[in-house]
Chains A and B, each alone.
Chain A
């Protein structure tokens, strides 16, 4: 168990709902769910959720901390915002799911080898390196995120896409050498470091 997770378990022993309200993006909305299930029925990957959003909200209220945070459910979100558009109670469900996923990851509770969790991190690392996404490196990192063997297999499978993109001028093999970048890379990284520090401090200090 991570130190932070340990700290949070102790701090919010009595109420997982309070923990979510304090530490999860838009978490204060969770109590407003009225259990109609429109979100679950509107999600494009609905059938793939271990616990659909409606159930996640109920589980939070029922204090099922481990079950929620270690679930792959939130990682199924495609950010299509259909649930937000349709929720009769106006819950920002997409953001809550992102928030729960991020929080779980921060505490080290996300399922091991969850592909979206991994890709999401790769994407972040990629973009923060130069300030702009390097699509070639991102693609390669993705193919090889589970090791060299599966990576070569995936790369071969994706060859046609890559070649197509290359031929139509929508992929640049030279990106491997560096590629697009902003000028003030160090400034950007300084800014992000600060933002991270503030956010972590808020989680630690929050008096729920």
Chain B
């Protein structure tokens, strides 16, 4: 690239020209920002304004563009210029809309605007144009693990788009649990007629599809690479092995019914006529619709016990609702009615979700299934049959009902691989010598199921879990994503769901997998930074092989080479910058986002002296929620302190503590970090970034003590996009706090 030439363009529209001296801004850009060209325009985003910029790029050789106008989130199409670096000074949402239009406020408002122009110039000075790494390849080929209804749906959907699919199934046949069904619950209006099981037709369609290769009795022994270039080793039971190259992976490994032998009080494992729903389904299917006891005699009375060992806080039980079981029991009770028997469903809360659920329930009632609200205390043998004791919750009495067969609606246990972080935590605990934790984690590792994907990743063999063994996904924003880019989970391994939902889920996951392949081919990031071409790189000579980046990456993207240097695998990378924030020697950077692009911005701010009564507050705001919330505060004209200087960051995880130290050394009076909610119900768009930042900042007190500064000067907040009133309040509170504890002495 030719020499850097900065062009600064200052908009006077939307009231900016009335509120601040734009000629002064142009002069700041030129004198302090070293802009070669600085122009004002009364309406910068109109065709004429945009053309003015384009002409400078074409004729004047401007290759770094500073737009001093509205927020970087506004007018992105008008202000998109190919082949140049762009930085934005937010004069509208970030300055004039958050300050009162009064004579007294004029001076500080102008100071804000001046600083944002300085900051934008400083940022762009350190930006480079990102380019794809060249590591990419286009592989229109998916691996689907699991041959149940979810996996088959994924394979068929991908095949329809022309993608090739390798479908791996552990057992000797396709179909999974759905294949075991006698009938399906009603699947079309008016939702009161049981539907035929169509899984067989689906299996045929998969087998007949030229784009799909089915591998039965097969498991995955090794997965290496990244989106666009995974190499997967498959091994059959007989020992034959085969390698395939795929662009993305869908894991649809389904569920196992909760082990009912853990429910002896409900007769689980004690009588052959007490069974779980899947066993009942198989029995009815085997008998062609007849309901028979284990001894072969006809069963006249069947009692269904809902929430057996689930939605229960008892140790060893499942605390969650598996979602499908009420509908399944209604369906199975109808088998009994159709066979001429009596069926009673004992429920605490009958949950029939979905638009059709209520009609399915009604259909059961119309068919004469008896529904009793109650809590079952015991199932015991009585003569030749069984007796179900329960507390009737409507009539408030203990009562019982005789049954030939009792069906326990047990929950879904996900068939996921081991949670990789248990092993990593164990390594850490062993290093720390925490014996108690080591014991606990060891026990967990021993209990862990065998690996499914055998990923050759620094952070372990399988996709991470969220809760109860279900794989992690960003439930609010990106439900199909796992924490391993290019690997998607679908169906009940992700959350409890029924077959209808699993079909939708697998279809969605397939779409995302295809997107991952196509993105990987051109070096683009998956969301939330969709389309980003930048990726992390490091200065090898400065690297101390400390491994913090490889350990902290929320997506397990970074491997280590033989010498312990990081390998970034940019196709796995989500571009959050958590590695950059982690690096103690600051050698990691992106072309357009680095320790310098932020560090130089905060240093570019004009710092009034200690006695000016004009403090400076640095706000590092996550671009995903905090920064949009600040923009919305502007749109709704919430005022906040004129002393705040806000810098958007990709994720709080990308915040390197050097920025805090630099800010304090430069004389900032307060530093505020704003990120998304962390923890189990996280909203952090990069899953762990906010959490990691909170941990890092909890250790910043040492720095403050060294500088002899009050620790209240640095604060970390969890905010949401809806905190439009709260965030200005937080900033104003900080200004007030500085008023109380006094200005920083570090102003030079």
Contacts and interface: CB of A to CB of B under 8 A. Distances in A.
A128 interface: no
A180 interface: no
A171 to B, nearest CB: 46
B394 A54 contact: yes
Interface string B334-363: 000000000000000010000000000110
Nearest to A57: B394
Contact of A58 (B350, B361, B365, B394): B394
A62 interface: yes
Interface in B695-737: none
A98 B350 CA distance: 29
A35 B394 contact: yes
A31 interface: yes
B361 A34 contact: yes
Given A58-B372, A61-B370, A31 B392 contact: no
A59 interface: yes
Nearest to A52: B394
Given A34-B350, A54-B394, A55-B394, A61 B362 contact: no
A58 B366 CA distance: 16
A35 B373 contact: yes
B365 A32 contact: yes
A208 to B, nearest CB: 12
Contact of B399 (A31, A35, A55, A62): A62
B371 interface: yes
Contacts of B394: 35, 54-55, 58
A34 B373 CA distance: 9
A146 B372 CA distance: 41
B395 interface: yes
Contacts of B366: 31-32
B368 interface: yes
A163 B366 CA distance: 54
A55 B365 contact: no
Contacts of B365: 31-32, 34
B736 to A, nearest CB: 50
B368 A62 contact: no
A92 B746 CA distance: 80
Interface residues of B, number: 14
Nearest to B344: A61
Interface string A17-41: 1000000000000011011000000
B353 to A, nearest CB: 15
In this complex, the member of B371, B373, B392 whose beta carbon has the largest number of chain A beta carbons within 10 angstroms is B371
Contacts of A35: 371, 373, 394
Contact of B392 (A54, A58, A89): A58
A62 B392 contact: yes
Consensus secondary structure, chain B interface = mixed
Contacts of B395: 55, 58-59, 62
A32 B368 CA distance: 9
Contact of B362 (A32, A58, A59): A32
A34 B392 contact: no
B740 to A, nearest CB: 54
B49 to A, nearest CB: 59
Contacts of A55: 394-395
B78 to A, nearest CB: 52
B330 to A, nearest CB: 12
Interface string A89-100: 100000000000
A17 B371 CA distance: 13
A61 B372 contact: yes
Interface string A54-75: 1100110110000000000000
Contacts of A89: 362
A35 B371 CA distance: 9
B366 to A, nearest CB: 7
A56 to B, nearest CB: 10
B297 to A, nearest CB: 19
A54 B350 CA distance: 16
Contacts of A59: 395
Contacts of B392: 58, 62
Contacts of A54: 394
A19 to B, nearest CB: 14
Nearest to A61: B370
Contacts of B373: 35, 58
A62 B350 contact: no
B371 A34 contact: yes
B701 to A, nearest CB: 55
Contacts of B350: 34
A15 to B, nearest CB: 9
A31 B362 contact: no
A55 B393 CA distance: 10
Given A35-B394, A55-B394, A55-B395, A62 B372 contact: yes
Nearest to B394: A58
Interface in A124-180: none
A31 B368 contact: yes
Interface in B587-604: none
B352 to A, nearest CB: 10
Contacts of B368: 31
A71 B523 CA distance: 77
B55 to A, nearest CB: 67
B264 to A, nearest CB: 27
A57 to B, nearest CB: 9
A58 B394 CA distance: 7
Interface string B364-386: 01101011110000000000000
Nearest to B367: A31
Contacts of B361: 34
A64 to B, nearest CB: 8
B663 to A, nearest CB: 59
A32 B192 CA distance: 14
B54 to A, nearest CB: 62
A34 B394 CA distance: 11
Interface string B530-562: 000000000000000000000000000000000
A167 to B, nearest CB: 51
In this complex, the member of B350, B371, B394 whose beta carbon has the largest number of chain A beta carbons within 10 angstroms is B394
A27 B632 CA distance: 58
Contacts of B371: 34-35, 61
A62 B391 CA distance: 13
Interface of A: 17, 31-32, 34-35, 54-55, 58-59, 61-62, 89
10 nearest A-B residue pairs (beta carbon): A58-B394, A32-B365, A31-B365, A35-B373, A61-B370, A35-B394, A58-B395, A55-B394, A31-B368, A55-B395
17 contacts: A31-B366, A32-B362, A34-B365, A34-B371, A35-B394, A55-B394, A55-B395, A58-B372, A58-B373, A58-B392, A58-B394, A59-B395, A61-B371, A61-B372, A62-B372, A62-B392, A62-B395
Given A32-B366, A35-B371, 15 more contacts: A31-B366, A31-B368, A31-B370, A32-B362, A34-B371, A35-B373, A55-B394, A55-B395, A58-B394, A58-B395, A59-B395, A61-B370, A61-B371, A62-B372, A62-B399
